[in-house]
Amino acid sequence: MFSDYTSTELVSIFAMQGFAGLILFSVFVLMALGLAIIFGQMGVINMAHGEFMILGAYVTYLLSNLFETHMPALFSIYFFVAMIVAFFAAGALGALVEWGLIRHLYRRPLDTLLATWGLSLILQQTYRTVFGAREVGVSLPDWLMGSIPLTDIIEIPINGLFVMGLTLTIAVSVYFLMFKSRWGGQVRAVVQNRPMAGAVGINTEKTDRITFALGCGIAGVAGSAFTMIGSTGPSSGQLYIVDTFLVVVFGGAQSLLGTIASAFTISQAQSTMEFFLSGSMAKVLTLLTVVGILMLRPQGLFALKIRH
């Protein structure tokens, strides 16, 4: 299959597909980071994670309309406002869901899965009722459009670069929050030994709620970033949820670094194969490989050595 192309063309193809893969990687990482906190750290299966992401996307859509009609002067920076609002909107909904639903089910992980699936159905239908079944897109400010030509064949879209920068920022801040801050220490203490964490004076219920809300908030930001590279429909979230879970499980559920590494592997494999095979076959092959590796190595790529 390589013989039809010259070597320079091949290099460019790999570079372009590699870059497309990097954008996919950024979206995967953003979605998976939230899930890695909720699923990897807390052990809660949140099947409605995609819907939290879509909430962020719709918030961005609403704000872009608002700025366009009422504050056109500030339109070029609306995106930053939208991300912050998306974070807090999704986080607030997350805290509410944790209070109403999740906290009753911490001991029944399989039931959490079913209940959050029900929640995702309700949220989807709510989006459909409020925003309509059609997919919506946002208009980007001028400085995010266009691309930087690198050579005559290779061009790098600016919005892709922006999403990657954003991902990097969020990943680094999550790392510092989880591993360097006092609050992150509390979260990890609660995860590792709940009664002991409670005994030394950590408010475990509050920690759980904030952790869950933070995971959902990151999903909201992911949704906000998602609007820059694709349109949003009521059921877009469901399309990504299985991939995202696979990313987290493949990376080794408790390791944030593993999540990022596995998001990188999966997205690069998929986008490189997509050029040579049909999109669906690329996806089938990628997912099959992941499932196959998980069957051989169920603990994921980067398993922490913990005694259970």
Partner 1 sequence: MSTNDIRAYMPKGDLISLLILAVLILVVFPLSMDIFRLNLVGKYLTYAFVAIGLVLCWGYGGILSLGQGVFFGLGGYCMAMFLKLEASSPEATKIQSTPGIPDFMDWNQITELPWFWEPFYSFPFTILAVLIVPTIFAYIIGAAMFKRRVGGVYFAIITQAVASILTVLIIGQQGYTGGVNGITDLRTLLGWDIRTDSAKFILYFVNAGLLIGCLLIAQYIRKSKLGRLLVAMREREDRVRFSGYDVSDFKIFVFCIGAMFSAIGGAMFTLQVGFMSPSFVGIVPSIEMVIFCAVGGRLSIFGAVYGALLVNWSKTTFSESFPELWLFAMGALFIGVVMAFPSGLAGLYKQHIGPRIRNTLATIRRDYLASRANAKSQSFATD
Residues within the interface to partner 1 (CB under 8 A) = 43, 45, 101, 104-105, 108-115, 117-122, 124-125, 128-129, 238, 242, 245-246, 249, 278-281, 283-284, 287-288, 290-291, 294-296, 298
Q: How far is the CB of 105 from partner 1 (least distance, A)?
A: 7
C-alpha 161/C-alpha 228 separation (Å) is 11
User: 74 or 114: whose CB is closer to partner 1?
Assistant: 114
User: 296 or 306: whose CB is closer to partner 1?
Assistant: 296
Q: What is the DSSP letter of 4?
A: T
User: 148 or 288: whose CB is closer to partner 1?
Assistant: 288
SS3 assignment, position 147: strand
Q: How far is the CB of 111 from partner 1 (least distance, A)?
A: 5
Q: Which residues contact 242 (CB under 8 A, 6 or more apart)?
A: none
Q: How far is the CB of 169 from partner 1 (least distance, A)?
A: 29
Query: Between helices 279-296 and 256-276, what is the axis angle to 10°?
Result: 140
Q: How far is the CB of 47 from partner 1 (least distance, A)?
A: 8
Q: What angle do CA 218, 284, 58 make, to 5 degrees?
A: 30
CA–CA distance from 192 to each of 182, 189, 266, 301, 306 (Å)? 15, 5, 29, 21, 10
User: 163 or 241: whose CB is closer to partner 1?
Assistant: 241
SS3 assignment, position 15: helix
Q: How far is the CB of 258 from partner 1 (least distance, A)?
A: 15
User: 8 or 129: whose CB is closer to partner 1?
Assistant: 129
